[in-house]
Structure 1
Amino acid sequence: MPGPYVVPVHGDEELPKECDVVVIGGGIIGCSTALELAERGLRVTLCEKGGIGKEQSSRNWGWVRISMRDPREVPLMAESLRIWEGLDKRTGRETGFKRAGIVFICANEKELADHERWRTNLDGYQIESRILTAREFGDVVPGSRLDMSGALYTPADGRAEPQKAAPAIAEAARDKGATILTECAVRGVETSAGAVSGVVTERGAIACKAVVLAGGAWSSLFAGRFGIDLPQLKVLNSVMRTKPLEGGPEQTIWAKDFAIRKRQDGGYTVACGHHNIVDIVPASFRYAAAFLPALRSEWKSLSFRLAGRFVDELRIPRRWSMDDASPFEYHRVLDPVPSKRLTQDALGGLKRAFPVFERAEIAQRWGGYIDVTPDAVPVISAVDAIPGFHIATGFSGHGFGIGPAAGRLMADIVTGRAPAVDLSAFRFSRFTDGSKVELISGF
């Protein structure tokens, strides 16, 4: 079944001959970067090989959360929550953002203690987050049969509509003067004296002084063509949505067996709370050493399979001429088949926890590829080897909520403005400078 319906964004017809910055990728990260740069008066061109928001930016769960994030992302996510609050007004469009709170269920006392320790990461941010007892959870979220020791509840967390957000931000960037090009793959970057001087697209060349690669799961392939080794793999997440259902919880909830978010249409987005599929592909062997620490920590939550995706990616060339069609022109949208078993398991767990979902009707299932880094922290960084080249990718399933702030940070880097948060955790050079690349388990 194809992916979810995404609010269409019609690309501009005219290819500019030059601009200040080219953004590669029309997901929420690329669109947010383009909006920030355009608002600062730069001439921006966003190039998307397919459609705006058609890959993981529209296929994610729609959570806008600071709770239970990797502590290294907390300062940036605090900024993102502030941006989301005013995003509809800023863009003049609806993103579906609402502060409805997110609840993480603690099945036992150890999990409860772990969540209480995590909560200290919010000290000083004036963001309400507290531990609920099982009885208090019943008062906050009625109608549950969950067996638990308690829960972490963060009322400041929110939700939004993935199928609306990236398109709204892209259109706002165009309102501010950005050029939005769809079905316009970038084949490569041109340099002069070692620095960025332009890009070559399937529709022609664009001169520029800066490029931002926000290509999601495609970023490693693109970067590798130009000698930039970006360790990145893909994880398949399977999602379903229900038809509108009355009587379900308002809060977004994570539990071991399921994760749910109420949608604007009254239905629910449902996914497995702890399990994903990893296709073994050629890049799995290339980056095995880099990802080994993460695999040791997270292997219980991953199902590895050797299937058709291995052959599919084996056929994709890693080198190509900029005079010929690139792989991105033959693969406009990643639209993987979801796991029916995982989505059914999630729905079963949800029905056991909330009997109201016995009446739920499945409207659609879809799959999406999450782009992950070895430490599950994104790269938001300049690339020292090529002045003017920047990367914003590897958000490891955390990109939707943090996207608006990631775009602001990327714009700060491109323009040389003092960033609002410490850049060190997101620097690209951490993979090559001898730093310990560490996955903080559980986030």
Structure 2
Amino acid sequence: MDVIVLGGGLMGTASAYFLASRGARVTLIERNRVGAAATVASFGNIRRTGRHLSQLPLAHRSLRLWGEAEKMLGRDVEFRATGHIRLIFDEGGLADMRTYAEAAQPWGLELDELGPREIRARFPGLGPDAIAASFSPQDGSGNPRLIAPAFADAARKLSADIVEGADVETIRHTGSGFLVITSKGSFAAECLLNTAGAWGARIAARFGEEVPLDARGPQMGVTEPLPHRILPVVGIWTRDKDYGAYLRQVERGNIVFGGAAERVPVDLDPGHAAADPMRLPGQLRAVARLLPSIAQVAVIRTWSGCEGYVRDMLPVMGRSATTPGLFHAFGFSGHGFQLGPGVGDAMAELITTGRCETPLDDFRVDRFSRA
């Protein structure tokens, strides 16, 4: 079986690797460099907490693969299962956390509820005004700059062809397969997998499948290195988007942070988003609620990227509803990093066997036309 994968982010490179490991002949086509769009803009959060319940089976599948990534890919992608804590500062947040924890339990996600005293004892310096927190000990973080290139290199070792810097000019369904004409040549295959991220809706539209997707850029930042003291990824349960911040400390000591700043619209041509320094003070005030000591630290870099947000905040995954041999996996709406390995594994299973052990029905591309 020949498969063309369009898009070289985490979803595309993971799909290429798992397809090649199942014996498919794979060509991955990327318009820029592998991992240069949404993946590299990611915060690096590997969390299951707070996900739409129908995503949890895929998230569990992916977490298992994150745990195997170093052995599987032959390099350290800095996955660390240090846990994920979400702090709570008001009764509304506490009610939301408890409702979610109860709903998620049948889906295989167990959340520990921590009181103020336990937060102080286990995680000193975090959220001194927090009234409670949830904690998921198996979750953690990974390095967004390492994971897509690692999957691409591992796919190459399995004879996948990774074509970078290739602008797609034409995509045609030939009846027996697909022809993709690019600035670096023409490629033909029996199957086509659309993992083009924020550009994925454009590709789906070529085949009569309309997806309500907006391209937006998050704002991320990183501080100077500090003594390494914060192990878990830190987030918040809140109904106020102005306080929706998150942070993690990498082993080198830098604190990476994001959230609490409106994601800005991005023009897909050229598809670059810039961080806005005017939004940084408000963002840091929200981060300081989680970690007050960050107010005394220098921010050394900010950045943004291009992510695809679907109207219902669920991804598009699975078979095309119009075109045999076409498959989609895009629109992960700013929370796809944790899912990446599981998405690649699930799509490879679906394409090569015609079935998938992980339920994908909620992510069907035709859910909008059916609605």
TM-score, normalising length: structure 1: 0.78
Residue in 2 aligned with 1:425?
Answer: 362
AA of the residue aligned to 1:424: D
> Counterparts of 2:62 and 2:275 in 1: how far apart (Å)?
29
**Structure 2 counterpart of 1:262, from 234, 237, 249:** 249
Structure 2 contact 126–292 (Cα < 8 Å) conserved: yes
Moved more, 390-399 or 246-255: 246-255
Residue in 1 aligned with 2:58?
Answer: 76
> How has the CA–CA distance of structure 1 residues 221 and 257 changed in structure 2, closer, same or farther, with 3 Å as cutoff?
closer
AA of the residue aligned to 2:113: I
> Counterparts of 1:47 and 1:152 in 2: how far apart (Å)?
41
> Counterparts of 2:245 and 2:280 in 1: how far apart (Å)?
9
Residue in 2 aligned with 1:87?
Answer: 69
Pair 1:211 & 2:192 matched: yes
Structure 1 contact 91–168 (Cα < 8 Å) conserved: yes
User: Residues 146-161 of structure 1 correspond to what in structure 2 (within 5 A)?
Assistant: 146-161=128-143
Identity over aligned pairs, percent: 29
**Structure 2 counterpart of 1:252, from 233, 241, 248:** 233
Residue in 1 aligned with 2:327?
Answer: 390
Pair 1:357 & 2:294 matched: yes
**Structure 1 counterpart of 2:117, from 118, 128, 135:** 135
> Counterparts of 1:413 and 1:189 in 2: how far apart (Å)?
22
| Runs (5+) with no aligned partner, structure 1 | 1-18, 280-308, 317-330, 435-443
> Counterparts of 2:102 and 2:362 in 1: how far apart (Å)?
19
> Counterparts of 1:385 and 1:88 in 2: how far apart (Å)?
38
**Structure 2 counterpart of 1:277, from 263, 266, 277:** 263
Structure 1 contact 196–386 (Cα < 8 Å) conserved: no
> Counterparts of 2:108 and 2:188 in 1: how far apart (Å)?
45
Structure 2 contact 194–200 (Cα < 8 Å) conserved: yes
> Secondary structure of 1:346's match?
helix
Residue in 2 aligned with 1:34?
Answer: 16
Per-residue CA deviations over 1:118-158 (Å, capped at 9, x if unaligned) read: 11344256654211112211122102353222111111111
- State the 1:356 CA deviation: 3.1
**Structure 2 counterpart of 1:96, from 41, 58, 78:** 78
**Structure 2 counterpart of 1:198, from 179, 187, 191:** 179
Pair 1:416 & 2:348 matched: no
> Counterparts of 2:146 and 2:342 in 1: how far apart (Å)?
17
**Structure 1 counterpart of 2:157, from 148, 152, 175:** 175
Residue in 1 aligned with 2:211?
Answer: 230
Pair 1:339 & 2:276 matched: yes
- State the 1:351 CA deviation: 3.6
- State the 1:188 CA deviation: 2.9
Pair 1:242 & 2:223 matched: yes
AA of the residue aligned to 2:223: T
Moved more, 138-147 or 210-219: 138-147
> Counterparts of 1:417 and 1:88 in 2: how far apart (Å)?
29
Per-residue CA deviations over 1:282-335 (Å, capped at 9, x if unaligned) read: xxxxxxxxxxxxxxxxxxxxxxxxxxx6xx66xx6xxxxxxxxxxxxxx3xx33
Per-residue CA deviations over 1:193-250 (Å, capped at 9, x if unaligned) read: 3x53322121221121000011111112233344332221122210001121115421
Pair 1:348 & 2:335 matched: no
Per-residue CA deviations over 1:383-409 (Å, capped at 9, x if unaligned) read: 131111111101011111101101111
> Counterparts of 2:336 and 2:204 in 1: how far apart (Å)?
20
User: Residues 314-333 of structure 1 correspond to what in structure 2 (within 5 A)?
Assistant: 331=270
- State the 1:71 CA deviation: 0.8
> Counterparts of 2:274 and 2:123 in 1: how far apart (Å)?
33
AA of the residue aligned to 1:101: G
> Secondary structure of 2:43's match?
coil
Per-residue CA deviations over 1:73-117 (Å, capped at 9, x if unaligned) read: 011101111000010110001211000111111221222122112
> How has the CA–CA distance of structure 1 residues 254 and 342 changed in structure 2, closer, same or farther, with 3 Å as cutoff?
farther
> Counterparts of 1:406 and 1:71 in 2: how far apart (Å)?
16
- State the 1:276 CA deviation: 1.9
> Counterparts of 2:193 and 2:21 in 1: how far apart (Å)?
16
| Runs (5+) with no aligned partner, structure 2 | 237-242
Equivalent pairs counted in the alignment come to 365
**Structure 2 counterpart of 1:114, from 90, 96, 99:** 96
> Secondary structure of 2:318's match?
strand
State the superposition RMSD in angstroms: 2.0
Residue in 2 aligned with 1:305?
Answer: none
